[in-house]
Structure 1
Amino acid sequence: MRKVFKYFVVIILFVIFSGTLASCSSGGKEDVVYDYTDVAYESKDDGNKKVTVENYDLIGAGGYGALYDVSIDPFNDSILATRCDMGGLYMSYNKGKSWERRNILGVMSDIDFDEENDGVVYATGSGVYKSIDHGKTFELIFPSKESIAGHGSGGESMGECIYTKDFADNPENADYEPASSVSTMVINRKSGGKNIFVAQKVDWPTIGGPQYIRVFKTENGKDFTRFIDLPYTSCIKLEYDEARDCLVVVTENSVAEYNQNGKNVWSANFNFSTMVNGIIAFDSYYDKVSQKNTFAFCELADEEKNIDNSCYFTDDLQNRSHYQDLIDLLSLKKLRDIKDEVDKGQEDYAANEYYYWLSETQFFDWRIENIHIARENVFYLYHNCTDRLIENGKETGGEVYISAYLQYKNGNFKWIYGTGVSHAGVTDLSNESWVDWASFGPALGFASSRQNEDMVAVSTMGTVYVTEDCKTFSQRHCTLGKKVEVTANDGNGHEQKVSEVEWGIPVHESTTNGINVQTTYKTVTDPFDKNHLLMACTDIGLIQSFNGGKTWIHSLLSWKDGKAEPMSSYYRNTCYDLIFDKERQGVVYGIFSGTHDAPYFPTTDFLRATGAFAISYDGGTSWTMRSIRAKDNVLPYRMDIDYTEKGRTFYIATEGHGFFVTRDYGQ
């Protein structure tokens, strides 16, 4: 076993940046662009110095991917932290106006500021990391550095595994499972930051056997020991009940409290609202003055169990008679209060629509999907209504989809922002950004200021939004420049000017504010114009820059019957590879797919994925798709090109279907 283990860990080598260097010569000067796993950097000195963040400038359009969490420093609300699903922890020191990426290997799963110790912040992923300088630097505290025998990779998205000496010597009885990350943590807010619990969700045990949850505990802030083992669950969250001095373990269908000795002292079943990445709509707050806890959580309807949609808050988790339902409080009177407030000062069409539909119609599905406690009697809610539309007791045959962010303060509801009314063109926040409408959606994470109860940050599928007054709500991932118009040319006599159409077409130039949360596969420089760059990405497909990376536009037009239109969903999710033709100006070759993260060996789903080889005759603005198979059921992800006297030969690697070659440009 030891020999197998040593062989496995040495085949993976982690360096300070996990990517590849690509250089292109242009005009006698070499410009080096560093391809990073979820951003791109450009060298300030032609790549001669050591590869560090200080020697490179961040470039990109900003945003997208998924941001699953956001936190605000309880001592200083200028400091924010967020994390993304593709690897990476981001810190901001100016309320989200700009961000800095922290180089912790592996995907981060939780972020916690210590509410008792200024400057201390924790992040969990492959282990538990601690910062004592407001997130500027992080040190691994669990497993301890002394216990580490090696590192490995657990999957795509920069996944990291930490192998301990304990596991190397005796894997059957080792405490720490290397193939799984630390999913969640909680700090006892009466312990001075010393009593901490972390949970490891073991999805794939390295040596086989059943899946399980393992909770570790420390009473001195550094030495973690095994606390309890729990049955496996797909979602888990840890909170703490300071009033009862108990750990609270939340899963998608239950909540339980354990005392400091690991004894289960109470449990109950619920049908909690859960979202992507195992997020559970459950939050807690501890008031140091009153020494009381407040818990809040969202429960979804289950007809078989006779459960209604609810959003409870309580000061006693174990006593259901103390539960209050915010949905019951969100009555017609409260809705009218919201409308009155909008009429007084907020000219917000969506808010008026929200009032109208909730007060004048009936919904089959009316739920609060996520909740955050800012302090006692101050909550932030994500309210979602979707189903058949009923007017005057009759079905209209239509559907309505409404999403709203609300503040509940001391018995009163306040409108913050909303979108999604089906019959009206409601202007939403995507107009402040280059990303499409899907970037603004469910509140996957909430955070609020301890200094200003009207300041809240929200993380969504695409970015972080911040408001400091519950009125002005803005995205914090990019800075927009001017609107643009591009000229598309198919190389066959058709030319078309495009400025503003549906999904994925450039409307604005965009400059990143530091959050680039999509995997970057390649950044290439036009051999005929050193300021023209193309960047191949997950989720956003392809972006291009005409000024050396200062600003970027989206480039997902494809040609069909002599007309340039938005690229099909079969291809537009990911651009895996790009090559400029070194002899023909304006000609670019690309690999596109509707499925990301290839190659991904543990699954066979990718064998049914779609993709294509593509050619651009206008420098990457528009593309002609060339299917590798007639039904598009091949996912290509890498190519190489051979220049011959007769033309070009392309070699293309695919997921599970072998290698393909074409000598006639994909015809």
Structure 2
Amino acid sequence: MTGSFITENGGVSWRMFNLRGPVHYFVYDPLDSNVMYANSIGLFKSMDKGKTWSLWYPAPSEVDGVVSKGDHASEVLVTKDSTRRNVLALAIDPEDSKKLYAAISIDKQTGFYTSVDGGLQWKKEKDIDDHVKNVFVVPKSSPDSRTIYIAGAQGVTVRENGTWKTNPAPKGVTQLTTFTGGYDEAKNVFVLYAMAGKSYFDPEGKASGIFYSPDGGATWTNREAGILSYRMKGAALPEYRTLATSALHPEVVYVSYRDLEVHADTTCLGVARSTDFGVTWTLAWKDKLTKEHNYPSTNFSEEWINERFGPTWGENPFSIGVSPTHPEVCYGTDFGRTVRTTDGGKTWEQVYTNKKDGGWTSRGLEVTTGYGIMFDPSDLNHAFIANTDVGLMESHNGGASWQSATRNNGVPRAWQNSVYWLTFDPEVKGRAWSVMSGTHDLPRPKMWRRTGVKNYQGGVLMTEDAGKTWQIISNDIGEGAMTHILFDPTSPKEKRTLYACAFGKGVYKSTDGGKTWQQKNKGIEGAEPFAWRITRRDSDGVLFLVVCRRGEDESIGTPLDGALYRSDNGAETWTKVSLPPTTNGPMCLMTTAKSNRLLLAAWGRNRKAAFASDIGGGIFASGDDGKTWQAVLPGDQHMHDITYDKRTDTYYACGFNGSAYRSEDEGSTWTRIKGYNFKWGKRVDIDPVDSTQVYIITFGGGVWHGPAKGDERAVEDIVPGLVRK
């Protein structure tokens, strides 16, 4: 649920690019700074510093196309021999860029492979353990038979002078979670570091340690003692999240740590640094968490996540990168921030945002998730973004900068995580309603498959002063994940009729502006209906309700199906509307302005077969109120939302298949909006000031703003493109 980013000016600005999924690692050519590799749904190669990318492994000639599946529409390359392939780890020869060394998994059978032509052809040398983390090349070993270290969860497999051996993990360690390594030229030694113990990636981990090896894992020394020297006597061991060294200065190593109890009421998290191979450590970044208050590290520059939430939101880095030539330069990324030090941890600065006009503006590195952008009809410079994880954000300068809109203004702390919807009353200045919840990322099944929906928190709020203050108006409903609110514009403005969706509870109605509410589920099937979105047809006042599906497999025609309902009497009763024959995952319904056609966005059913695309998703149109349906955009199986700009009579749609679309014929045909190519799209919202521009809200890539008809000059990230099956 995030993109990949490049900076060419030390983090002053960033450019996002899309390789169809999260990138698990980058490898840079040591001899040509233009060349880099990235492992996503396949191994990609760039020869122009990341401006464009080509699929490198599997070879394009071996690929039939791409299918998308599941919660996040995760993409899978369909190979002609129907095998799942993954380059688990990659290394480039330090003296010959055409020589590559890789751990490659083919249908979960892992081998060590080499290439002498830059990855065009590969030769398998040895079967190895599946749980490979890294491949390291010892620089001064023989060019004809390099010494190779293949680091895995159970130890290190070594190729030296053409022979193989395996060095086990340190005694008592059942799983090594992270490795890093570098070459000490003065001693002609390649140093390995490995990490073990309970962590975010190994919650059951027991034997803890930061291990050092100068001999390819033949011997290990636990060098966490310097960090533990800060620990209060008798306290539990800290968690180590990741570690990294400098490829050419391995004496310098950084470790991300948390839960380091230094006092009875003080626990620290951050980054520790060593300059003597881990013998001694300095807590270079030290956030302090106490029972009374949380304190960011005193050497940490200001940024909006710390300003709003304090150090417990971003936490400590999941990934660290250290400059190979200047070990005092180190970058770290956590749940939402990118930070760096250029002085060996003496000071840290964030490199993802800038302070502006009392708020914050992006540098192009965005990982936020939203549901929509809403403009105040009384002041189009005033806007809100309905976000997940960081809650409601607000701008007073047309989106030039943003600030949190849930601080000390009546929004309960337990509801601040996610805002699913906000709507203004265009006839009453300052009035708006919003639905918020402590549960994020609905309606994706990952949110309810283990925990259920009964304990969700959230509710409906109202403001009469454009968001300066909010009051709870959903006491009649009780706690729940409220996902949508709609008001009837024909109702009296002094006592608006409102409809709210509660995920797992159903539909609620108010006829007095939200003072009181009644549940309106008559005709809706199921004890816990996943009420998601409700819409009203202007021509006749008919309501349509989208209920999300509970099922997660390819079955259809069961009580776990999603559903579409209509009400002709203001939600007093509901009648089921037929879905397209192959569809059970409705996401959004829109009625067209001229002919009252129905447009349905749907999520595909997850088929079990490894290379079978999800089915039943896309966009469908009906000219007879849902009696029959026509598939009008079947290629994208994971569509999230449809919107409309009445100024240009244009419909927009997007989803999780890497594209956004526009239609100028009431949804009969759709054209891709070129220039936007983020993997996970949530919604296209119109620009109320300029009809030639749109906003595209994403799942993990912030909010995009650009030409509504696309940019024909835009360069695609993957050249040539990959064909969707």
Normalised by the size of structure 2, how large is the TM-score?
Answer: 0.59
Q: Please point out which of 71, 79, 85 is paired with 1:164.
A: 79
Structure-2 separation of matches of 1:399 and 1:151: 52
Q: Residue 295 of structure 1 aligns with which residue?
A: 192
Conserved? CA contact 2:7–2:14, under 8 Å: yes
Number of residue pairs matched by the alignment: 486
Distance 1:452 1:241, change over 3 A: closer
Q: Which residue of 1 aligns with 2:406?
A: 556
Assess, with a 3 A threshold, how the Cα gap between structure 1 residues 109 and 587 changes in structure 2: closer, same or farther: farther
2:133 is aligned with 1:265: no
1:195 corresponds, among 97, 100, 103, to 100
Match of residue 517 from structure 1? 367
Match of 1:35 in 2: none
The whole-number CA distance in structure 2 between the counterparts of 1:317 and 1:656 is: 54
2:100 counterpart letter in structure 1: N
How much has 1:98 moved relative to structure 2?
Answer: 1.8
- Separation in 2, partners of 1:139, 1:530: 42
The answer to whether residue 285 in structure 2 is matched with residue 417 in structure 1 is: yes
Tell me, in whole angstroms, the C-alpha distance in 2 between the residues paired with 1:148 and 1:626: 55
Alignment of 1:20-35 (within 5 A): none
**Shift in Å, 1:543:** 0.4
Give the whole-Å Cα distance in 1 for the aligned partners of 2:181 and 2:274.
15
Per-residue CA distance 1:78-115 (angstroms, 9 max, x = gap): xxxxxxxx220011112112211113322222222233
Q: Which letter does structure 2 place at the counterpart of 1:583?
A: E
In the superposition, relative to structure 1, how do residues 383 and 658 fare at CA in structure 2: closer, same or farther (>3 Å)? closer
Residue number in structure 2 paired with 1:622: 469
Distance across 2 between alignment mates of 1:651 and 1:331: 56
RMSD: 3.9
Q: 2:152 aligns with which of 240, 250, 253?
A: 250
Task: Verify: 1:238 aligned to 2:134, yes or no.
Answer: yes
Q: Which residue of 2 aligns with 1:402?
A: 268
Q: Quick check: 1:386–1:399 contact (8 Å CA) kept in 2?
A: no
Within 2, Cα distance between the matches of 1:262 and 1:155?
Answer: 44
Match of 1:446 among 297, 312, 320: 320
- Work out which of the residue numbers 382, 386, 391 in structure 2 matches 1:536: 386
1:589-644 CA-partner distances (Å, limit 9, x unpaired): 22322122211136523524333233222223433334487552x43334444322
**Secondary structure at 1:466's aligned position in 2?**
strand
The answer to whether 1:372 aligns with 2:247 is no
Q: Which of 303, 319, 329 is equivalent to 2:218? A: 319
SS of 2:23's equivalent in the other structure is coil
Do residues 99 (structure 1) and 18 (structure 2) align?
Answer: no
In structure 1, stretches of 5+ residues that fail to align are 1-85, 167-173, 203-211, 333-356, 390-397, 483-507, 559-563
**Cα distance, 1:263 vs structure 2:** 9.9
Given the alignment of the two structures, is residue 613 of structure 1 paired with residue 460 of structure 2, yes or no? yes
Match of 1:578 in 2: 422
Aligned residue in 2 for 1:13: none
**Which residue number corresponds to residue 84 of structure 2?**
176
User: Structure 2 vs 1, CA of residues 130 and 162 (structure 1 numbering), >3 Å: closer, same or farther?
Assistant: same
Identify the range of structure 1 (308-317 vs 517-526) with the bigger mean alpha-carbon deviation.
308-317
Determine helix, strand or coil for the equivalent of 2:453. helix
* Post-superposition CA distance 1:290-345 (Å, at most 9, x none): 7642100123389xx9976332211213312xx3332345697xxxxxxxxxxxxx
Unaligned runs of 5+ in 2: 517-725
User: 1:654 and 1:590, CA in 2 relative to 1: closer, same or farther beyond 3 A?
Assistant: same
CA contact (8 A) 1:439 1:460 kept: no
On the 8 A contact 2:496/2:511 being kept in 1, the answer is yes
The C-alpha deviation readout for 1:257-280, integer Å capped at 9, x for no partner, is 165999973152457799xxxx93
- Find the residue that maps to 1:192 and give its secondary structure: coil
The answer to whether structure 1 residue 433 and structure 2 residue 276 are counterparts is no
Q: Which amino acid aligns with 2:489?
A: Y
Alignment check: 8 A CA contact 1:183 1:201 kept: no
Taking the aligned partners of 2:161 and 2:388, their CA distance within structure 1 comes to: 46
Bigger Cα displacement from structure 2, 256-265 vs 406-415: 256-265
SS in 1 for 2:317: coil
For residues 408 and 623 of structure 1, do their structure 2 counterparts lie closer, same or farther at Cα, with a shift above 3 Å needed?
Answer: same
Moved more, 261-270 or 657-666: 261-270
Question: 2:489 is paired with a residue of what secondary structure?
Answer: strand
State whether residues 377 and 409 of structure 1, in contact with CA within 8 Å, keep that contact through their aligned partners in structure 2: yes
The DSSP-based 3-state class of the residue aligned with 2:61 is helix
Secondary structure of the corresponding residue to residue 69 of structure 2 = coil
Tell me the amino acid that sits aligned with residue 154 of structure 1.
Answer: K
Tell me the amino acid that sits aligned with residue 274 of structure 2.
Answer: Y
Change (3 A) 1:457 1:542: same
- Give the 4+ runs in structure 1 shifted more than 6 A: 228-233, 260-264, 271-274
1:594, 1:432 → 2: CA distance?
26
Classify 1:652/1:449 alpha carbon distance in 2 versus 1 (closer, same or farther; 3 Å).
same
Q: Deviations over 1:468-523 (max 9, x none)?
A: 112221111111235xxxxxxxxxxxxxxxxxxxxxxxxx5111122221112211
Does the aligned pair in 1 maintain the 2:194–2:212 contact within 8 Å?
yes
Q: Which residue of 2 aligns with 1:21?
A: none
**CA gap 1:124/1:589 in 2 versus in 1, 3 angstroms:** farther
Higher relative contact order (CA 8 A, sep 6+): 1
Secondary structure of the structure 2 residue equivalent to 1:537: strand
Structure 1 CA distance, aligned partners of 2:499 and 2:186? 68
Query: Which of residues 567, 576, 580 is equivalent to 2:412?
Result: 567
After superposing the two structures, state which structure 1 stretch, 257-266 or 306-315, moved more.
Answer: 257-266
Distance 2:474 2:105 in 1: 43
Residue in structure 1 matched with residue 565 of structure 2 by the alignment: none
Distance 2:245 2:75 in 1: 33
Q: Take 2:123 and 2:457, find their aligned partners in 1: how far apart are those partners?
A: 45
TM-score, normalised relative to structure 1: 0.64
Over 3 Å counting, the alpha-carbon distance change for 1:547 and 1:657 in structure 2 is: same
The answer to whether the 8 Å contact 2:393/2:405 transfers is yes
Q: 1:420 to 1:512 in 2, by over 3 A?
A: same
Query: 1:301 and 1:546 mapped to 2: Cα distance?
Result: 45
The question of 1:130 aligning with 2:45 is answered yes
Name the CA distance, whole Å, in 1 between partners of 2:110 and 2:435: 42
Deviation sequence 1:542-582 (CA, Å, 0-9, x none): 10100011111101147xxxxx445322x211112222222
For 2:113 and 2:496, locate their aligned partners in 1 and report how far apart those are by CA, in whole Å. Answer: 61
Q: 1:650 & 1:273 partners in 2: Cα distance?
A: 57
- Closer, same or farther: CA 258–529 of 1 in aligned 2, 3 Å: same
Residue 216 of structure 2 aligns with an amino acid whose one-letter code is: L
Question: 2:208 maps to which residue?
Answer: 309
Q: Distance in 2 between matches of 1:475 and 1:125?
A: 26
In 2 relative to 1, CA 237–588 (structure 1 residues): closer, same or farther, beyond 3 Å? farther
Retained in 1: the 8 A contact 2:434–2:460?
A: yes
Seen in structure 2, the aligned counterparts of structure 1 residues 104 and 407 have a Cα distance that, compared at 3 Å, is: same
